[in-house]
Structure 1
Amino acid sequence: MIKRGIAGLSALIVLFVGIPGAAADGTSALPTHPGPVYATVTDKSGKLSLQTFGRPDGKDMVFRISGSVYANIEGNSLDPAMRHGQKLFNIEGYNIRRLYRVPDTNQLYQLSREIVFYTDPADPQRILREWKNPIDGKTYPVVPINNDAVNFGPFTITSSYVGPPLQDLHDETVWTSDIPVRTNFGTTLGEGFGLTGGVYAAQEMFDFSVDDNEVAARTGSGVPASAMKTKISWARTSPWTPFMCLAESDVRGQLTYHARSWSLSSYAAIEPWLRAEVEANHPLYTAAPTAPGPSENSWTSFYNKQLGKGATTWAGWCAANGRP
Structure 2
Amino acid sequence: MFKRSLTRSVALVTLFLSVTAPAAAVADDAPADPTLPGPVYKTVTDKNGQLSLQTFGRPDGKDMVFRISGSVYANVEGNSLDPALRHGQKLFNIEGYNIRRLYRVPETTQLYQLSREIVFYTDPADPTRVVREWKNPIDQKTYPVIPINNDTVNFGPFNVTSSYVGPPVRQLHDESVWTSDIPVRTDFGTTLGERFGLVNGVYAAQEMFDFFVDNREVAARTGTGMVPSGAMKTKIGWARTSPWTPFMCLSETDVRGQLTYHARSWSLGSYAEIEPWLRAEVEANHPLYKSTPSAPGPSENSWTSFYNKQLGKGATTWAAWCAANGR
TM interval, short-chain normalised: over 0.9
Task: Identify which of 223, 248, 252 aligns with 1:248.
Answer: 252
The aligned length equals 316
Q: 8 Å contact 1:9–1:65 — kept in the other structure? A: no
Unaligned runs of 5+ in 2: 5-9
Task: Identify which of 65, 71, 74 aligns with 1:71.
Answer: 74
Alignment of 1:4-153 (within 5 A): 4=3, 10-11=13-14, 21-23=28-30, 26=31, 29-153=32-156
Give the Cα separation in 2 of the matches to 1:191 and 1:8. Answer: 26
Residues 8 and 99 from structure 1, CA distance in 2 versus in 1: closer, same or farther, beyond 3 angstroms?
Answer: closer
Deviations 1:278-319 (A, max 9, x none): 000000000000100000000000000000000000000000
Give the Cα separation in 2 of the matches to 1:164 and 1:14. Answer: 17
Q: TM-score, normalised by structure 2?
A: 0.94
Deviations 1:52-108 (A, max 9, x none): 001111000000000000000000000000000000000000000011000111000
Residues 180 and 197 from structure 1, CA distance in 2 versus in 1: closer, same or farther, beyond 3 angstroms?
Answer: same
CA displacement at 1:11 relative to structure 2: 3.9
Q: 8 Å contact 2:17–2:265 — kept in the other structure? A: no
Q: 8 Å contact 1:12–1:177 — kept in the other structure? A: no
**Structure 2 equivalent of residue 300 of structure 1:** 304
**Aligned residue identity for 2:46:** D
**Structure 2 equivalent of residue 225 of structure 1:** 229
Q: 8 Å contact 1:3–1:10 — kept in the other structure? A: yes
Unaligned runs of 5+ in 1: none
**Structure 1 equivalent of residue 7 of structure 2:** none
**Structure 1 equivalent of residue 189 of structure 2:** 186
The alignment partner of 2:205 has SS state of strand
**Structure 2 equivalent of residue 321 of structure 1:** 325
Give the Cα separation in 2 of the matches to 1:20 and 1:59. Answer: 15
**Structure 1 equivalent of residue 285 of structure 2:** 281
Task: Identify which of 235, 242, 267 aligns with 1:238.
Answer: 242
**Aligned residue identity for 1:233:** G
CA displacement at 1:13 relative to structure 2: 6.2
CA displacement at 1:223 relative to structure 2: 1.4
CA displacement at 1:176 relative to structure 2: 0.2
CA displacement at 1:21 relative to structure 2: 3.1
Residues 8 and 238 from structure 1, CA distance in 2 versus in 1: closer, same or farther, beyond 3 angstroms?
Answer: farther
Residues 4 and 282 from structure 1, CA distance in 2 versus in 1: closer, same or farther, beyond 3 angstroms?
Answer: farther
The alignment partner of 1:52 has SS state of helix
Higher relative contact order (CA 8 A, sep 6+): 2
Residues 12 and 142 from structure 1, CA distance in 2 versus in 1: closer, same or farther, beyond 3 angstroms?
Answer: closer
**Aligned residue identity for 2:42:** A
Give the Cα separation in 1 of the matches to 2:17 and 2:119. Answer: 20
Please, what is the CA RMSD of the aligned residues?
A: 1.8
CA displacement at 1:9 relative to structure 2: 8.1
Give the Cα separation in 1 of the matches to 2:276 and 2:12. Answer: 21
Give the Cα separation in 2 of the matches to 1:62 and 1:254. Answer: 28
The alignment partner of 2:244 has SS state of coil
Give the Cα separation in 2 of the matches to 1:89 and 1:244. Answer: 12
Q: 8 Å contact 1:19–1:38 — kept in the other structure? A: no
**Aligned residue identity for 1:293:** G
Q: 8 Å contact 1:8–1:204 — kept in the other structure? A: no
Give the Cα separation in 2 of the matches to 1:127 and 1:244. Answer: 16
CA displacement at 1:22 relative to structure 2: 3.0
Q: 8 Å contact 2:16–2:98 — kept in the other structure? A: no
**Aligned residue identity for 2:28:** G
The alignment partner of 1:154 has SS state of strand
**Structure 1 equivalent of residue 264 of structure 2:** 260
Give the Cα separation in 1 of the matches to 2:100 and 2:303. Answer: 21
Residues 8 and 308 from structure 1, CA distance in 2 versus in 1: closer, same or farther, beyond 3 angstroms?
Answer: farther
